[in-house]
Structure 1
Amino acid sequence: MPDVFDEVHRRCRDGEPVALATVVATWHSAPQPPGAAMGVAADGTVVGSVSGGCVEADLYERACRVLDTGQPELRRYGVSDDDAYAAGLTCGGILDVFVERVDANALPALDAIAAARRNGHPAAIVTCVAADADNPTADDRKPTADADKPPAYADKDAHDDRSSDPARRLGRRLVLTGQRSVGSLGDDRLDDAASADALGLLAAGRSGMLRYGYHGQRRGGGISLFVTTYATPPRMVVFGAIDFAAAVARIGAFLGYRVTVCDARPVFATARRFPEADEVVVQWPHRYLRTELAAGRLDERTVVCVLTHDPKFDVPLLELALRHPLAYVGAMGSRRTHDERHKLLSEAGLSPAQLARLASPIGLDLGGRTPEETAVSVAAQIVAARWGGTGRPLAALDGAIHRSG
């Protein structure tokens, strides 16, 4: 989404409208999560993707229509039907996509998001994607019959006052950046309710759908809002300025982490050796980690990779890291090094549960040898830890391929 946002923002600043298609809800094995987006410019340029190719051709045509009419559309895509040329998801999932025209009228909201991202602040944009109790999708195609059927967007039995013409709310936006808000969803009480709940999603670093009555009633229905969050990037801290660290930093940046490389030796810890890192710090490792933890700059999304394999660095560093709820803590070294390290950490007072959080030797068994291959195995283990993956071949498993976040 960040790349799509940048392109949409740039074109709107230049006076060019863009059709923005955003995944707002998914079920089953949908290929992309809520928040995935595709932009279509007036000159036909496409950026981003919502399904990896399954429905983009159909969505492109719809986006062009929305560009011309300015009328937003909410479209549900399910499995392909008997018509081989019908637009559908071959993976068996279901996704809902909201398509809207974004132009100069949206600049205040886009500028606010861009400013927050530049300053490293989290932000969220809340968009009204449905404001009608009837027929929430753009056509009559039914989703796959299933016990876990996607709900309708609004509750027909909700007792709401609709005198405010809810259909005019469609496409309205509210942007939240810290203590500041830009725009409105068309009702003060709805703005207040949506702001509180959107900030909760933002704190969790997740995009998602919210549903309310027309005046913000949490037990009502009729208004569906999608919250797109722009959280600050999670951090990856790599300790040990070695060639393996350069490869891990490179793949960490590729995965969207803000990467720091730290080493106590200034001759090795240089920006020139780690061009993909956001920062290179010359500091004793456990002292740097303690400072960052105390300042609140590390959180439950943070991953720590200890590549020093030297006890005088490793043990105090890992003792500190494993006492905090970080997302991932891995350490490089042989099995002999691991056994000795494990013994020293146990003697330092770490509990069995804390020691069990240590990924050591670091990475998955891919059989790699080079720094780049090792970095792939480390990244694979980090991704598996984040989503609850097993690291086994998908061909050897049954059930859903994608796990919910």
Structure 2
Amino acid sequence: MLISPQLARDTLADLIKDCGLPLEAGELIPGKGEFLAHGHVFVGDVAVRGYKDKGRWRYDDRDIRRAGRHLASVVIDSADLAEAGFPDRRWFDVRGTFDDMRGADWRGTLNHWAYAAAHRSLLLERDGPATVGFNPADDFDLLDPELSIDIDVDIWSSSRYEIGPHGLPGQLTFDEFVSYYGKRTIAGTRPLDVLAWSGTHWVFPRAYRDMLDHWQAQDRELSERARICSGCGRRGSGWSWRTPTAGGYVTMCPSCSGEPFQAYTGHLHGVAYTSLRRTHRADAYLCCLCRESRAFIWDHCHEHGFVRGPVCASCNTFEGKGVAFLRRDGSLEHLLACRGCRDASTLPRRFHLDVALAHLEADKGHGHCRPRPYAELRETDGVHHITLSCPAHASTAKWTTEVTVAEVVGIVRAFVDSTLTSPGRHTALQAGLQTGP
């Protein structure tokens, strides 16, 4: 029987309530894209498959009960300990690529947590509580030595991250580490609950460490399988070939995915959505944005009512992500496929502030600092009050500017006009949208 994630969580929580593992049954309630990688959610080293039913993700009740019985049977011997292999300076010195971090690597994750927590602790010590909002622990991009340019004290000096008196990078204490990352999970478990200091090194119960190793191997195997096209057997790169269907994600290469479907040529631009949706099937076409997946719906401008083109479910969802969508190649041309937006040199209203903020971030930097400032917005009486802050001087460099609604409209118009007249040329704003803050 298929059951909801909420019922699956409650069922599993009851089965593992006396288990010695630091498990988190709430992992069974997936976030957006949770099943994209390989269609499973892990609790401990048990992979639970997700099923798409009537547009909602569900689990098989038998899988949940089987997982609960297995996990409840694991014996944790607090006297049988094994080294955690943490912290490891090699991780900090190399700082692997973003793609590397997305793979299952529990030791790499623990090391990331430790060095990010030490980085944040050092910032708080140097700049005080004003830097609390500037949280390296939540952003991989902040683990980048380029951000230290123009900082008076080189916070990225490797000597500051030698293992300190508490067995952690720098002066980081275990209590600080737990305050930053104690609720984070790896494989549906809370590792900091069972991490212990032996006096010379960090240790886990051996059964727990072995379980993490087993999870890592299974996750990588499932991820590798998910790269294989189900049509021709070719191996893809990452998740680029994963395609949403009514029954869940499948892996189809562009050739196999495109065989039964037409390439959209833009021949329906300017047609009203209301007159098109019942006469033309969107799923007869390839998505006009990614050009890899089967289209799911007709994307259209809600303000002018004109069709832009057929898009898949993933691209349709991504369009709602504001400036992240605008940074994508071809996104502006897609939005301007609406005849109304093109004629008026505008974009849908939900993108206006994203464009204005990107313009200000790119145009109003802090002196000679290389990092782009962050923008925060407050609106009163039709005026946008925008506070900009320099990430390299978070506690000392903040300034405010005001932009009226009319000025925002002008910024958007100038942006659209430059896109229409010189699509190959990047203005400061376009460059800002492409790189992000």
Task: Answer whether TM exceeds 0.5 for this pair.
Answer: no
Report the TM-score when normalising by structure 2: 0.26
Q: Which has the higher helix share?
A: 2
- Greater per-residue strand proportion: 1
Structure with the larger RCO, 1 or 2 (CA within 8 Å, 6+ apart): 2
- TM-score after normalising by structure 1: 0.27
